[in-house]
């Protein structure tokens, strides 16, 4: 049962072997490290770049223009701010050419808090990314979805940003990726590079199969009647846990929607759930001013105002410049399990 980093690595290997991936590159992406979180170990096409985000995105665009299918990485999403103008250019290309020039680049980057990464390694980028017209933006909350979303991103003719919640990159899924061995230790022996000298090491890849998660499709991970919870990435498992606890202790059940795609997103699933429950909570760890959750809240109010039983609400990160390394700063900067549990209880018990 793979963790998320292993799932990404296997998806990239499948992409090299079956989907025409020509290059996987970025800072420390190639040997010997294979990425800060080991998500690119053992890949045939992986190579290292200078510490230059603009060079990485520019190179990816050039490879795509030349007919390649590149996957690149910005080592932490905090440094994606260095290339906002280039993201805009990449997003423009298919539109400006009337579909004449595809831009099949995949940009991966770790996102969010949860590892005490302090000011330069703890930002969330999805709200900024949602404003990049022409891009598709995805964020998995499980290893299987990471595998499927990376495959979908590789196949897409548009630029796709894959935001990987760094706090979940070592989290194992309870479900198997098609073709992976059931024994986690066996998988590790096959595809994890040894500590120390790796000059002679090569991975023994399992015979992986296609498992594509269509971009723009959410997943209903819990079902209930007392409210709708919309989340993604790192906080989705905490939302599911809080919903389970309230169902067990108080018999209050909730629809928990894993959005999976920030854009395009699955409005149909959101709309059906709101119509059913009449109560909505949107949860993410990005800062609370001009947060993507506010867009969802606005649309829910616009289209379902008279279907709501109580006011819709959000639970988001504090609007602070960065997250301090001290654990207390991090715990009080982004929503935690207790915050989500309390918000769900308030949602379910507010009188109409």
Q: In what order do the strands lie in the sheet with 228-231?
A: 219-222, 255-258, 228-231, 280-287, 313-317
Give burial (CB, 10 Å; 0-12/13-18/19+) of 267: middle
Positive or negative: CA dihedral 297, 302, 305, 308 = negative
Cα–Cα distances in angstroms (integers) from residue 2 to residues 5, 176, 184, in the given order: 8, 7, 6
**Which tokens sit at 289?**
């001013």
Cα–Cα distance for residue pair 347/236, rounded to 1 Å: 17
Cα–Cα distances in angstroms (integers) from residue 288 to residues 128, 168, 267, in the given order: 12, 22, 21
Among 13, 18, 121, 319, the one annotated catalytic: 121
The answer to whether the beta carbons of residues 42 and 178 sit under 8 Å apart is no
Q: For strand 70-73 and strand 228-231, is the pairing parallel, antiparallel, or unpaired?
A: unpaired
Q: What angle do CA 259, 265, 268 make, to 5 degrees?
A: 90
- 211 catalytically annotated: no
**Residues assigned a catalytic role:** 121
């Amino acid at each position: 049962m793979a963790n998320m980093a292993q799932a990404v690595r296997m998806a990239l290997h499948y992409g090299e072997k079956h989907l025409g991936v020509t290059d996987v590159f970025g800072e420390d992406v190639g040997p010997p490290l294979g990425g800060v979180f080991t998500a690119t170990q053992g890949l045939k096409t992986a190579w290292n770049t200078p510490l230059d985000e603009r060079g990485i995105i520019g190179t990816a665009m050039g490879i795509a223009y030349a007919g390649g299918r590149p996957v690149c990485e910005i080592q932490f999403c905090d440094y994606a701010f260095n290339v906002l103008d280039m993201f805009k250019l990449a997003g423009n290309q298919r539109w400006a050419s009337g579909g004449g020039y595809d831009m099949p680049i995949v940009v991966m980057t770790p996102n969010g808090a949860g590892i005490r990464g302090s000011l330069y390694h703890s930002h969330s980028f999805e709200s900024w990314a949602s404003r990049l017209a022409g891009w598709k933006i995805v964020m998995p909350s499980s290893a299987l979805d990471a595998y499927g979303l990376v495959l979908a991103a590789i196949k897409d003719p548009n630029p796709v940003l894959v935001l990987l919640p760094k706090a979940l990159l070592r989290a194992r899924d309870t479900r198997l990726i098609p073709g992976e061995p059931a024994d986690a230790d066996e998988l590790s022996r096959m595809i994890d590079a040894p500590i120390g000298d790796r000059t002679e090491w090569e991975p023994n890849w399992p015979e992986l199969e296609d498992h594509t998660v269509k971009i723009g499709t959410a997943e209903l991970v819990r079902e209930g009647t007392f409210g709708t919870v919309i989340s993604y990435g790192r906080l989705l498992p905490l939302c599911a846990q809080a919903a389970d606890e309230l169902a067990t202790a108080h018999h209050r059940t909730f629809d928990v929607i894993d959005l999976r795609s920030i854009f395009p997103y699955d409005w149909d699933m959101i709309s059906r759930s709101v119509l059913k429950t009449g109560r909505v909570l949107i949860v993410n760890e990005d800062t609370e001013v001009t947060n993507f959750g506010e867009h969802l809240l606005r649309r829910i109010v616009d289209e379902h105002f008279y279907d709501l039983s109580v006011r819709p609400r959000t639970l988001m990160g504090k609007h602070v410049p960065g997250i301090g390394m001290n654990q207390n700063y991090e715990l009080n900067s982004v929503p935690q399990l207790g915050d989500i549990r309390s918000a769900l209880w308030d949602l379910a018990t507010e009188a109409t």
